[in-house]
Amino acid sequence: MLAETMVAQNIVFGILAVTMVAAAFRLVTTQNVVRAALFLAIVLAGAAALYILLAAEFVAWVQVLVYIGAVVVLLLFGVMLTRAPIGRESDLDNDQRWLAALVALFLLGALGAVLADAFGDDKIGHITIRRTAEVSDSIFGAYVVPFEVASVLLLAALVGAVALARRD
Amino acid sequence: MLRNAWLIPLIPALAFFVILFFGKRLPRKGSEVGIGALTIAFVLALICAGQWIGKETPREAAHAHHTWFTFGGTDFGFGIHVDGLTVMMLVVVTFISLMVHVYSTGYMHGDRRYTYFFAALSLFTAAMLLLVVSDNTLQLMIGWELVGLCSFMLIGHWWEEGVNSGAAIKAFITTRTGDVGLMLGIITLFFAAGRNFDIEHLNHAALTGEIGHGTLLVGAALLFLGVMGKSAQFPLHVWLPDAMAGPTPVSALIHAATMVVAGVYLVARVYGPFFVGFSIDAGGINVVALIGAITVIIAAALAFVQDDVKKVLAYSTISQLGYMVMALGVGAWGAGIFHLFTHAFFKALLFLGSGSLIHAVHSNNMSEMGGLRKKMPTTFWTFIVGSVALAGIFPLAGFWSKDEILLGASKNGYPLMLVVGLIGAFMTAAYMTRACYLIFAGEYRGHAHPHESPPSMAWPLRILAVPAVLAGLLNAPGIGLFNKWVEFDIPGVQPFLHEHDFNYGLAGLSLLVALAGIGAASAYYFRGAFNGISDRIPILKTGERILVNKYYLDDLFLAIIRGIQYPVAKAAYWVNQNVIDGVVNGMGKGAQAGAYLVYDVIDQRVIDGAVNGAGLSAEEGGSILRNVQSGRVQQYAAMLFGAAAVLAVGLVFLT
Amino acid sequence: MYLNEFLMLAAVIFCLGVYGVLARKNAVLVLMSIELMLNAVNINLIAFGAFRDNVIGQVFALFVITIAAAEVGVGLAIVLLIFRNRADIDLDELDLMKG
């Protein structure tokens, strides 16, 4: 049973990974801003699926709600408000794209090497299915201070965004 | 006294300085100092002569030498060598100089440079005396050059007139031309004698064969060049007639009796090299005798066409100098010296007499004289005595000395010189007769008022007439004192210098020849025979023209000088302008170019380039680096990520 | 499942996000790329949490999501402000801090 689960998990992971990478790639290379936002939504959705695969259902659900539901919409609003042309238009990549590619590849290489070196044979074994109550216990228990700080941060962000964007 | 004979040149030298510094303030303007010094010198010379004659035979020469310094094994110093020849010269020089000094007080009275004249006379006398007493060729040359200088000074005494200064320069340069030979000769003989200037040593070395014949020939020939210049031998005789531009006392002292005989003295003193080098004992012909003979004839010929009385006497002097040189050339050493001795007296007498005439008629030219016999008796008689002595009439001085020369020429195997001597005697008598006729006979042709000279001028004439008459008797047959007193002595060596017995036949012949000369001239002038002959016979007319133009020698010399001097001067000028100035200018240009180089390249490009470059590089670097701060956030982000990645790699893989 | 699978996937997405941040001219696209990067980090956290069998990974991931949302809001406000002032959100033109 466990072995079949393993195989099924690997297949799922493989599909998800390919989808996400492809979407991310298209996100950074497309010339259409709206399509970029949609590709972002795909990546975010794939991430949520991954969380479920890793037995983090609450986080997956929050991801979908907040990221896909709010952030992508917000980004689309931004696209709209800044009159970015919808549809194909002039080059959206600036002149240093090759340097950027180089840096990104270099970074990837470094990261890859480090990861391979450090976590070569580690396996994720059996993951305990936890209830969301345990997550909330952790937040409001051990990490209540970061929680409060995060809420203050949200407030600040809210006030700040309003202050900035307000037509005056 | 003989060993202290150096006093004799010293006293006139001191007189020179005294007259120079104090002469103008003295009551007689310095002449008294000159006369006093010369008197003392003459007395000392007589003492020397007396001591020399009183010596035991064979007489040895007295020496005194003071070494100044030695260099490279050679002794440089001052010394005296006193023998018969020296003593004779001392007496002659001091006596004639004294007579001239006394005469000059009258002749140069009121002259513009009276004091300097006497100073120069004293200096000249001192130099001549230095020359005759010297025991080494170097000191001799010093005296030689000094007398040349004094001659220049005295010829050009009235240098305000261009003729006089020109004559002085001509004299100096002509003798200088000969002096080159003199110096080279001295040097040659110096090395030949083993780096020694001593004359006695040189004579000894030459006569004993220590020095090679060829070397002696070369040395003697070079010395003879100097003799030709100083003693007015052909062709360097051209200066002497022009030197008559100087005052007459100067002509008497320097250009008759003393300076011009310095060359003869040199040959006589340094006779060894001459005797051996020119092979004088071989007879026939040699350069010395030949030049002397030529000089005798051509000078005598020129004396016939002169109008200036002093020029007649000048050519006569040249001719007699030719006799002396010829005598030495044929080996008649004693005869040559004896003729020097007698000639000094009667030629000085003649010159002073001519000075007296010039002083009286205010002109040198015989065409403005005439009939002065009655007006100036003393001058007339002394002049006649001098002329007869010069012509060689028995028993006056010239007869004996000239005859000895002819004797030597005939006996030593020089027949040509004998013939020349006889012809010369004829001509001498003739031209002197001509001169006497033009001056003293007939009517006075001038415009002045001639009168007899003052005692200061008349007495020297009278005094000089005495030796002019009697001096020859010193060597008359049977007496022969002169030859005994003045011998060519080199201890241990007896050269071929025969003393010949007196030959009555030859003496008679020379007397006849002289009388014939007087007779011919008298016929021409007194009786008008052969008058106008040169107009009738064209070849004689040509000869006359050549004589009047002095054989065109002056023109020849001038052409040579111009031909040499002008191109040399042009070449020197070219070298100066192009080579020397070129070098200098080139260096200047080089320095300038260097400066430009430094400026353009080093300063402008290198240094300024460095400085500017520093600034420029900072600027460029800044512009490049400025691109880092493009203001574009993404660029900063790229750098950030890149640096972070590198750091990460570094941290991970290197630790 | 290997841990490295998740980590490598996260690394790839992170690097793609880096590329997007550096290479895109439109400011909104840059913000999207930043979201990519943050998501990659989240995947990392969750994977490690699963590896450790600990809930802490999820807690942190929640915080990250919160902050990401706040950041997008503020970021878009700024972008809107820029657009209002300059009528253009081409990041290449925003070089007032140049030099």
Whether the Cβ atoms of residue B471 and residue B486 lie closer than 8 Å to each other:
no
DSSP B448: S
Closest residue in B to A101 (Cα–Cα): B638
Choose the closest CB to A110 out of B634, B635, B649: B649
Give the per-residue pLDDT at A87.
47
Say if C32 is an interface residue toward chain B (CB within 8 Å): no
Per-residue pLDDT 10s for chain C (99 aa) are 788 889 999 999 999 999 999 988 888 999 999 999 999 999 999 999 988 888 999 999 999 999 999 999 999 999 888 888 877 777 777 777 776
For residue A66, the chain C residues in CB contact (below 8 A) are 65-66, 69
Least confident of A9-23, B297-311, B561-575, C84-98: C84-98
Residue B208, CB half-sphere, CA atoms under 13 Å: how many?
12
The residue that leads in pLDDT, C35 or B304, is C35
What mean pLDDT is predicted for residues B300-313? 89
Choose the closest CB to C32 out of A27, A107, A122: A27
In a mutagenesis test of the B interface, which of A107, A117, A119 is the best target, namely the one with the most B β-carbons within 10 Å? Answer: A107
Least confident of B18-32, B492-506, B542-556: B492-506
Question: Packing angle between helix B309-329 and helix B415-440, nearest 10 degrees?
Answer: 160
Give the per-residue pLDDT at B415.
84
pLDDT bucket at A153, cuts 50 / 70 / 90: very high
Report the alpha-carbon distance of residue B461 to residue B459 in Å, rounded: 5
What is the dihedral sign for C-alpha B623, B624, B626, B631?
positive
B648–A103 C-beta distance less than 8 A: no
**Helix intervals (H) in chain A:** 2-29, 33-53, 57-62, 72-81, 97-118, 132-140, 144-165
Decide the pairing of beta strands B74-82 and B62-71. Answer: antiparallel
Closest residue in C to B624 (Cα–Cα): C99
Distance from CA of C38 to the nearest CA of A (A): 10
Report the alpha-carbon distance of residue B569 to residue B561 in Å, rounded: 11
C-alpha separations of B351 from B99, B116, B257, B311, B427 in Å: 12, 22, 10, 10, 19
Closest residue in C to B633 (Cα–Cα): C91
In a mutagenesis test of the C interface, which of B633, B635, B652 is the best target, namely the one with the most C β-carbons within 10 Å? Answer: B633
Of B226, B141, B232, B143, residue with least CA distance to B179:
B226
Cis? peptide before B235, omega within 30° of 0: yes
Choose the closest CB to B652 out of A103, A106, A114: A114
Closest residue in A to B645 (Cα–Cα): A107
C26–A33 C-beta distance less than 8 A: yes
Give the per-residue pLDDT at C88.
73
Report the alpha-carbon distance of residue B85 to residue B95 in Å, rounded: 15
Compute the mean pLDDT over every residue in chain B, rounded to the nearest whole number.
85
For residue B646, the chain A residues in CB contact (below 8 A) are 106
Does C3-88 carry CATH code 3.40.30.10? no
Q: What percent of chain B has pLDDT over 90?
A: 25
Give the per-residue pLDDT at B112.
86
Give the per-residue pLDDT at A2.
63
Give the per-residue pLDDT at B499.
64
Give the per-residue pLDDT at A151.
94
Of B373, B379, B347, residue with least CA distance to B453:
B379
Rounded to the nearest 10°, the torsion over CA A105, A110, A111, A113 is 120
* pLDDT greater than 70 at residue A85: no
Distance from CA of A114 to the nearest CA of B (A): 8
Spans of all domains in chain C: 3-88
How far is C-alpha B433 from the geometric centre of its chain's CA atoms? 30
* pLDDT greater than 80 at residue A126: no
Kindly report the pTM of this predicted structure: 0.63
C94–B641 C-beta distance less than 8 A: no
* pLDDT greater than 90 at residue B556: no
Distance from CA of A3 to the nearest CA of C (A): 11
pLDDT bucket at B620, cuts 50 / 70 / 90: confident
Of B632, B586, B525, residue with least CA distance to C21:
B632
* pLDDT greater than 60 at residue B436: yes
Choose the closest CB to B638 out of A100, A113, A114: A100
C97–B634 C-beta distance less than 8 A: no
Distance from CA of B651 to the nearest CA of C (A): 18
Choose the closest CB to A94 out of B634, B641, B648: B634
B487-504: pLDDT as tens digits:
766 655 555 566 667 777
The two tokens of residue B383 are 């002049």
Distance from CA of B630 to the nearest CA of C (A): 5
Greatest CA separation for chain B = 153
Report the alpha-carbon distance of residue B356 to residue B359 in Å, rounded: 5
B386-416: pLDDT as tens digits:
999 998 888 888 888 888 888 888 887 788 8
Compute the mean pLDDT over every residue in chain A, rounded to the nearest whole number.
87
* pLDDT greater than 80 at residue A6: no
At B479 the three-state DSSP class reads: coil
Choose the closest CB to C51 out of A75, A84, A124: A124
Give the per-residue pLDDT at B227.
92
B113-164: pLDDT as tens digits:
899 999 999 999 999 999 999 988 999 999 999 999 999 999 999 988 888 9
Residue type, B379: T
* pLDDT greater than 80 at residue B44: yes
Of B310, B515, B540, residue with least CA distance to B425:
B515
At B74 the three-state DSSP class reads: strand
